[in-house]
Amino acid sequence: MLFELEVPKHYDLLSSVHSWIYPDIQPVPEQTGDKFFARIYEIDKTLVPLVIYQEQSGQLLRVNYPPSSVSENRLKAVLQDVLGLKVRMNGAIDKIRQEPMIANIAPLVSGIQPYLSPTVNEALMKTIIQQQISYRAANVLTKRMVIQLSQKMDFNGRILYAFPESKAILTCGIDGLRAFGLGYKAEYINEVNKLVCDGTLRTEALKGMSFDEISAILKPIRGIGEWTIRTLAIAGLGDYTVFPCDDLGVRNLMGRLFNVGAERMKTNEVEDFAQSWGKDWPLVLYLLMSADVLGLFGQQGRQQMHKRTQHIEAKRKTG
């Protein structure tokens, strides 16, 4: 079955998804390829595999799916949400265009819309995994868990994956999670899913709550702090009024872009600088983060910095 979905002007599906999911580390459970994005979504307790095509930026999305009890309108609503198609990005793009040090990337990020995990629980699991490590490393660990624990389907000749259910993660146990390379975070993930399974924590009920209400619920849980809650807000709740300004990658990037000769901004420096962008500041930071992950900053970006670090380390080892 097939339907089409309208998108904002200049929208680029793959750039938006690749701001979070590396194309060479999949499934997470997202998978991408030449002009397509695919995964299994759980919608109203039904697993629905979707393959989404976009020929070029700004064009309609073509969505393929098998016969399902989930209506086309419901599928459209879910995709509009998770692909961030209704989020207004014009203000953030204008702020970037007006900032001399980063104005050159405005046309490069004009097609990016915020990409969300389809459930709050998935976003929370991915956010915990991302703690204290790079996005790339987090993708590797998540991929291991997805391949071993998630449900999969063959659709249109592709094996597609869902994100693991809480019961599957809990059944895996702490030792099983550690085997994926999660280390001490295995205990955090196990505890959260235990709370979800026994009904103590209702992650989907967090949608629509204020940031303070969400913080009051999540902060008492071991392994969940301010950074995790702020990252969850943008990755799973669609709340773009906050941003994890203490994120090391963001602090490094802001330092490289705006502090001459400095590698890193302090958290309060990022906050103070970002406030000059007005109410759009979280989305400006989101686009800068996306540009960094996509390698759009060239020699100033994290990918080139990572390559240089590897080169220096290799020279050190060889003497």
Residues 128 and 256 in one domain: no
Residues 139 and 270 in one domain: no
Question: For the CA atoms of the chain, what is the radius of gyration?
Answer: 20
At 261 the pLDDT is 65
What is the number of alpha carbons within 13 Å of residue 275 lying toward its C-beta? 5
Prediction pTM value: 0.92
Residues 231 and 252 in one domain: no
Instruction: Please check whether residue 195 lies inside any domain of the structure.
Output: yes
CATH code at position 7? 1.10.340.30
How far apart, in whole angstroms, are the C-alpha atoms of residue 104 and residue 296?
Answer: 10
Residues 145 and 226 in one domain: yes
Angle in degrees, CA 249, 281, 287, rounded to 5: 55
At 184 the pLDDT is 97
Residues 122 and 14 in one domain: yes
Instruction: Please check whether residue 257 lies inside any domain of the structure.
Output: yes
At 127 the pLDDT is 98
Residues 94 and 215 in one domain: yes
Instruction: Please check whether residue 301 lies inside any domain of the structure.
Output: yes
Query: pLDDT tens, position by position, for the chain (319 residues)?
Result: 999 999 999 999 999 999 999 999 999 999 999 999 999 999 999 999 999 999 999 999 999 999 999 999 999 999 999 999 999 999 999 999 999 999 999 999 999 999 999 999 999 999 999 999 999 999 999 999 999 999 999 999 999 999 999 999 999 999 999 999 999 999 999 999 999 999 999 999 999 999 999 999 999 999 999 999 999 999 999 999 999 999 999 999 999 999 876 789 999 999 999 999 999 999 999 999 999 999 999 865 554 444 433 433 344 344 3
Residues 108 and 211 in one domain: yes
Residues 141 and 289 in one domain: no
Instruction: Please check whether residue 318 lies inside any domain of the structure.
Output: no
Residues 296 and 266 in one domain: yes
Q: Of 235, 265, 300, which one is at a domain's C-terminal end?
A: 235
Residues 261 and 125 in one domain: no
CB 39 within 8 A of CB 29: yes
What is the number of alpha carbons within 13 Å of residue 119 lying toward its C-beta? 19
How far apart, in whole angstroms, are the C-alpha atoms of residue 20 and residue 126?
Answer: 10
At 263 the pLDDT is 80
Residue ranges making up the domain that contains 256:
248-309
How far apart, in whole angstroms, are the C-alpha atoms of residue 136 and residue 212?
Answer: 30
Instruction: Please check whether residue 264 lies inside any domain of the structure.
Output: yes
Q: Of 211, 235, 259, which one is at a domain's C-terminal end?
A: 235
Q: Of 210, 235, 260, which one is at a domain's C-terminal end?
A: 235
How far apart, in whole angstroms, are the C-alpha atoms of residue 55 and residue 270?
Answer: 37
At 298 the pLDDT is 81
What stretch of H or E contains 303? helix 302-318
How far apart, in whole angstroms, are the C-alpha atoms of residue 8 and residue 11?
Answer: 5
Number of domains in the chain: 2
What is the number of alpha carbons within 13 Å of residue 185 lying toward its C-beta? 19
Instruction: Please check whether residue 186 lies inside any domain of the structure.
Output: yes
Residues 228 and 254 in one domain: no
CA distances from 246 to 56, 65, 208, 243, 254 (A): 35, 40, 24, 9, 11
Residues 229 and 253 in one domain: no
